[in-house]
Amino acid sequence: MLIKVVFFTVLAVSVYFVGFAGNCLLTVGDLAPDFTVLDENSQPWSLSAQRGKAIVLYFYPRDETKNCTEQACSIGAGYSKFRELNTVVAGINRQSPEVHKAFKENHYLPFSLLSDSDGDVCRKYGAMRAISYLPPRRITFVVDTDGKIAEILPEVDVATHTEHLLEILKKLSSHNR
């Protein structure tokens, strides 16, 4: 009996964490896959429409959870610096536009929150977990002004995420001069 309990516990933990092992098939230098999804206002948002600006596309599990809220609020607090660096920021997960709208309003977030309700974008970017009903994993992509992936952050520390992104964007900006 104990062996069965241990086996199923290990199996459950393994299945939960599949997807954290780096299942992203995209690499730095690849053209970022284009997509169109709805934002928090149920308006279409396309990656290709952002060309000419750097883009921070961050995948996160759920609105109104501790780490996701800390991450979003930190990015929101530094948003003027992102704008100075000619950067568009968008958070994305599988929740509805209505849920995103409430989250954005509750925390005064100045950037778009995108709804990938069918999980297609999460799959393209390697953020989908092995069990599709689980929320996406936390991963961030920095896309340059030409639409190419400049940086992939598969391990995100929400406490330092904003500062790390700003450092990357400053280096990217200095290379584009």
Helix %, strand %, coil % for the chain, to 5?
40, 20, 40
Q: How many whole angstroms separate alpha carbon 80 and alpha carbon 110?
A: 9
Closest CA to 15 of 166, 158, 143, 134: 134
CA–CA distance, 173 with 61 (Å, rounded to integer) = 29
Which of these is catalytic: 24, 68, 73, 122?
A: 68
Residues near 134 by beta carbon (within 8 Å), at least 6 away in sequence: 16, 19
Q: Distance between CA 114 and CA 112 in Å, rounded?
A: 6
Q: Is residue 73 among the annotated active site residues?
A: no
Catalytic residues: 68
